[in-house]
Amino acid sequence: MKNEGLIGVFKYLDDLVGALEVIRRNELKIQSVYSPVRSHEVLDALGLKSSPVRYFTLVGAILGIATGFGLATYTALQWKFIVSGKPPVPRVPYVIIAFEFCILLGVFWNLASMWAKSRLPRLGLPPSYDPRFSRDRFGVMVLCSESDREKVMDILTQAGAEEVHAANG
C-alpha cells in the first residue's frame, strides 16, 4: 500500500466528526483532516495527544534562569565588583537578570520546537488538498488498501459525505 486513499468532502462539521469517530473505531489510518476553521470537536474525535512543545519551553526557561544567574555571577567574580562591603555575588538583584533570560530562552526554545514539530517549511500543498477546504467544506483523507476501499467509501457516504474520490497523498 502506497500513500493511496479516499477523500471524503463534507458540508457540515458534525458529519465530519461522526465520520472520524467511525473511522477510528474501525482502526483505519487517517492521513489528513482539512477544515476551514479550527475545531475542538475534530481534535477530540481524532484523539490526538497533547504537544510536547510546552516541555521544550520549560527546558528553555530553566536554562535561561541558570544562564542568567551564571552570567551575572561570572561577571561579578571576574571583575570583582565589591561595593560598600556588600557580598561579591548578591543573589537578590540577579533575580531580575535570571527572569529576563528565562523569558528570552523560553521564547526561543518555544519557537524552535513549534517550527520543528509543525514540519515547516511546507513548500507545496499536498495532492489531496481541495481549495474548497479553505472556504466552506471539510475533508478527510483515509489511507486504505484496495480491499478496504469499499468499506471506507461506505463509511464516508453513510456519515454524510457529499463526494468521495480517490487521491494520492
| Omega prior to 121 cis, within 30 of 0 | yes
- Residue where one domain finishes, among candidates 80, 99, 118: 118
- Residue where one domain finishes, among candidates 103, 118, 133: 118
The DSSP result for 14-70, as a single string, is: HHHHHHHHHHHHTTPEEEEEE-SS--HHHHHHHTPPPPTHHHHHHHHHHHHHHHHHH
- How far is 23 from 75, CA to CA, in rounded Å? 60
The structural domain count of the chain equals 2
Beta bridge partners of 6: 142, 166
Q: Based on the fold, state whether residues 30 and 60 are members of the same structural domain.
A: no
pLDDT of 2 > 70? The answer is no
pLDDT, position 113: 95
Query: Residue 158's domain is classified under what CATH number?
Result: 3.30.70
Q: What is the mean pLDDT of residues 133-144?
A: 93
Q: Based on the fold, state whether residues 127 and 108 are members of the same structural domain.
A: no
Confidence of residue 1 (pLDDT cuts 50, 70, 90): very low
Q: Based on the fold, state whether residues 60 and 110 are members of the same structural domain.
A: yes
Q: Based on the fold, state whether residues 82 and 164 are members of the same structural domain.
A: no
Angle at 40 between CA 36 and CA 45, to 5 degrees: 100
Q: Based on the fold, state whether residues 60 and 113 are members of the same structural domain.
A: yes
Q: Based on the fold, state whether residues 57 and 114 are members of the same structural domain.
A: yes
Cα dist. 157→15, 29, 45, 56, 166 in Å? 10, 17, 18, 42, 14
pLDDT, position 76: 87
Cα dist. 130→15, 17, 46 in Å? 18, 19, 21
Contacts of residue 40, defined as CB under 8 A and 6 or more positions apart, other chains included, come to none
- Residue where one domain finishes, among candidates 118, 140, 157: 118
- What are the pLDDT digits (tens) for 70-89? 999 999 889 887 777 788 88
Q: Based on the fold, state whether residues 33 and 17 are members of the same structural domain.
A: yes
pLDDT, position 168: 66
pTM of the model: 0.68
pLDDT, position 150: 92
Q: Based on the fold, state whether residues 15 and 43 are members of the same structural domain.
A: yes
Domain extent for 20? 4-49+122-168
Q: Based on the fold, state whether residues 68 and 150 are members of the same structural domain.
A: no
pLDDT, position 3: 62
Contact between 34 and 28 (Cβ < 8 Å): no
Q: Side chain identity at 143, as an amino acid letter?
A: L
Contact between 32 and 140 (Cβ < 8 Å): yes
Q: What is the mean pLDDT of residues 55-67?
A: 98
Q: Based on the fold, state whether residues 41 and 58 are members of the same structural domain.
A: no
Contact between 32 and 88 (Cβ < 8 Å): no
